Chain A
């Protein structure tokens, strides 16, 4: 149910007590929060209801509580179906969707900042915020994505310059925005303007960096994108279910609807789900292979020899579990073991992202980030747990999975000075001879 922000609804004659106690209990924004207490509370002025008319009519007979439950349920299924469709459409579409989600999240948070600081009449500020978004996106695209598009970029001269000097160009653009900000400082509104500047930058830091980490993960292999996101979604839903059926002990004061039973039940359910999902997905090349841009066909291809992570291996079950399961060995993909780590993170630490967002909404007295999705709130409400996950997956891959990219190394090597090249070559040679990969007599073979 979409409800109006507390501040705007302030009327002296409405029962303020109810509103206050409601807002403290309601502005959680996580999936488990339901409208039960809302429906029973004093009637609040309702903002524009985004629920489509057809749903409204179909559900008009039910009581308002069940109506809300159905709206949320239908929208959940719609979003999951949408997710599957996009996966089917391929990496390029996924990338574009990630970009759009990023822009929408940025817009939502900036709008909140505007509303908090009544900043609509500040000169330039909207323009500057969007301009900074553009600069930072260009910088990140230059840093990461152009490596994957290397062949495409090399062909086109303007793209090559944009890519090679991207740091300098994006820094210059940023500086222009910075100078515009300084020149736009208005005497009575210094503090407001600095606040909005800080707000914009923190938002950029959160939203843009994470979305680029997500794209980075995607290029590593679609499974690294799909499994983490699905684990977070599964944890949300499972924790809600467990909490609904078994929930007794509250988890944290910040979100009074979360319970320990939901938390722990969600954890186990998510780990099992992650194991099953990664087992299913590891069988398909299109999920497992790194995304590459094929110069000839001018599109993305996912075709490769799957790495060791995605080949079935035998593992000995430890003694304690042998008696339980009755098997001696089990065949698993090594990736499934990694998926346990990912699911554990999604269930244990991911919710802290949700708590952070809840605290944020309480701090600024808003119910939801926006009203984009009927029954769920804004895009940011759906993605608040995902942000920490994306960073974790990227750090995990960089630390434990991915080595350096050989072709990139060769590129870098070729730009060094001759004496440096020789030095590196000789060091590599002695290293290979030590390892027995080369022998001094046969190295020409």
Chain B
């Protein structure tokens, strides 16, 4: 939803803050009364004042150019501006959804690259906003350092999670093995180098600005990079854990808009005046139904349901396995009131569909808070959209603001309720132990397996 920009009527009322402090005076041009020898504090004061003033005092960022392609403009030139906008949004929505399907078809590796690309673009968008807000273009080193930190944190996360899946690939190459085994140390050393560069790059007049940009970079990294790695981990659990949550959020967006468009009356929250309770509740129910159906359709295919594995012989990702119990049809007896409604005694469902209800509920009830957060953020910094990448929709961040909470939730859900430990990781750790410890563990495991009947005592294979 495009949000209206929050505009103060005039950049006047500094008195609302009632600041007798130096920052307020400095920005008002009173800093001539201060000693001329402390020019170094002027710039900080001016920007410091930006923080303390009310939102209406903050200068707005001029909108960037319109990126709608010429073809669309010509085709729609006949319509009024309102319908034109509606059509552009509609066409772009369909384009994005088709692109999504195409990449799913192309497989998990392409999906991983897509997630990575989106992460980099979101990071870029948020950092650019920070630059503009703080007029930071002339700060030394800052662009370099931000991208450098992005690289370090990505390397760290790849070493923590993704390398396990590529274990067989990594074992073959010596350098890769070294990079993965000591990834914590190497990424920490790289991060420290960046940290020291930051400290050495502190310039006398711009301390506060530089600290702000440092913090801005780190918070952005925390949001975008961690979530994108959680998404990739969900993906490796099985593509269905990636598709169903994302589709639920998209569906909630679209159906809430449609319900709001046709039935919307009561506003939902002051922050986003276009959201309505009717849209919210209608979106909730339709998303749950949609998630239920999507889960049913996708659970049948091994391609979606199996954990993604890297096979070194084939040198690619394969998704082939015996589907776990979650994805095998089971019959459930209906509770009495549903029996009366549906007139059936039993129903056969995939257990995953019950999980999908939880996921869809989260997507509809809590996901929008991610959108409200992003709306508040845009109002706070007086921007209309995060960027202008997608005509009619804004930036990549605009499309993905609701997804972030969802990705974390799905990951937490999987680790708490679904997934046990990763077998290849357990094996890897076993192989690193001391030989005596390995022997002890071997004996313990053997006793356990024989007890459970998994291993026959006489069988020596």
User: Chain A: residues with CB nearer than 8 A to chain B?
Assistant: 7, 10, 12, 16-17, 20-21, 24, 116-118, 164-165, 167-168, 171, 175, 178-179, 181-183, 185, 187-195, 198-199, 201-202, 205, 252-254, 349, 352, 355-356, 359-360, 362-365, 388, 391-392, 395-396, 398-400, 403-404, 406, 409-410, 412-418, 420-429, 431-432, 435, 437-438, 440, 443
Contact = CB atoms under 8 A, between A and B. Distances in A.
A252 B196 CA distance: 12
A422 B34 CA distance: 78
Contact of A118 (B19, B377, B448): B19
Contacts of B33: 12
B37 A406 contact: no
Nearest to B58: A191
Contact of A409 (B41, B420, B441): B441
A409 B426 contact: yes
B402 interface: no
B72 interface: no
A422 B449 contact: yes
A406 B433 contact: yes
A195 B454 CA distance: 57
B319 to A, nearest CB: 17
A16 B211 contact: no
A165 B449 contact: no
Given A118-B19, A168-B416, 7 more contacts: A188-B56, A191-B380, A399-B184, A409-B441, A410-B441, A418-B454, A438-B442
B35 A406 contact: no
B184 A398 contact: yes
Interface stretch (B202-210, B231-239, B251-259, B341-349): B202-210
Interface of B: 6, 16-17, 19, 21-23, 33-35, 37-38, 40-41, 44, 48, 51-52, 54-56, 58, 182, 184-185, 188, 192, 195-196, 198-200, 202, 204, 207-208, 210-211, 215-216, 218-219, 222, 269-271, 366, 369, 372-373, 376-377, 379-381, 405, 408-409, 412-413, 415-417, 420-421, 423, 426-427, 429-435, 437-442, 444-446, 448-449, 452, 454-455, 460-461
Grouping DSSP codes into helix (H, G, I), strand (E, B) and loop, the A interface class, with mixed when no group exceeds half, is helix
Most buried by A among B33, B269, B415, B421: B421
Nearest to A119: B52
Contact of B421 (A17, A181, A416, A438): A416
A167 B411 CA distance: 10
B22 A429 contact: no
Contacts of B219: 198, 201-202
B55 A188 contact: yes
Nearest to A166: B416
Given A349-B192, A399-B184, A404-B433, A356 B199 contact: yes
Nearest to B379: A190
Given A24-B40, A118-B19, A171-B409, A352 B196 contact: yes
Contacts of B452: 418
Given A396-B185, A415-B420, A198 B454 contact: no
A179 B22 contact: no
Contact of A395 (B185, B271, B380): B185
A409 B19 CA distance: 59
21 contacts: A7-B21, A16-B35, A24-B40, A175-B405, A188-B16, A191-B381, A201-B222, A254-B199, A363-B211, A364-B208, A395-B184, A395-B188, A403-B429, A403-B434, A406-B433, A413-B426, A415-B421, A431-B431, A432-B435, A438-B439, A440-B460
Nearest to A16: B35
A352 B204 CA distance: 17
B421 A388 contact: no
Given A16-B38, A167-B416, A412 B433 contact: no
Contacts of A364: 208, 211
B37 to A, nearest CB: 5
B188 A199 contact: no
A165 B449 CA distance: 27
Given A412-B426, A429-B442, A437-B438, A193 B380 contact: yes
Contact of B215 (A17, A181, A202, A406): A202
A120 to B, nearest CB: 12
Given A167-B412, A191-B51, A425-B455, A17 B37 contact: yes
A422 B417 CA distance: 23
A17 B38 contact: yes
**What 4 A-B pairs come out closest when comparing CB atoms?**
A190-B380, A363-B207, A20-B38, A404-B429
Given A178-B373, A187-B270, A7 B380 contact: no
A201 B219 CA distance: 8
B271 A185 contact: yes
A437 B421 contact: no
Contacts of A189: 54-55
A16 B445 CA distance: 75
A413 B216 CA distance: 41
A402 to B, nearest CB: 10
A421 B445 CA distance: 9
Given A359-B211, A413-B426, A438-B442, A400 B37 contact: no
A171 B412 contact: yes
Contacts of A396: 185
Contacts of A181: 373
A397 to B, nearest CB: 10
A39 B196 CA distance: 32
Contacts of B23: 7
B192 A359 contact: no
A190 B381 CA distance: 8
Nearest to B53: A191
A117 B53 CA distance: 9
B226 to A, nearest CB: 11
Contacts of B420: 412, 415-417
Nearest to B37: A17
A91 to B, nearest CB: 24
B445 A403 contact: no
A349 B58 contact: no
B196 A349 contact: yes
Given A118-B19, A167-B416, A404-B433, A182 B372 contact: yes
Contacts of A191: 51, 55, 58, 380-381
Nearest to B185: A399
Contacts of A168: 412-413, 416-417
Nearest to B19: A118
Most buried by A among B202, B420, B440: B202
Contact of B426 (A187, A193, A416): A416
Most buried by B among A165, A400, A425: A425
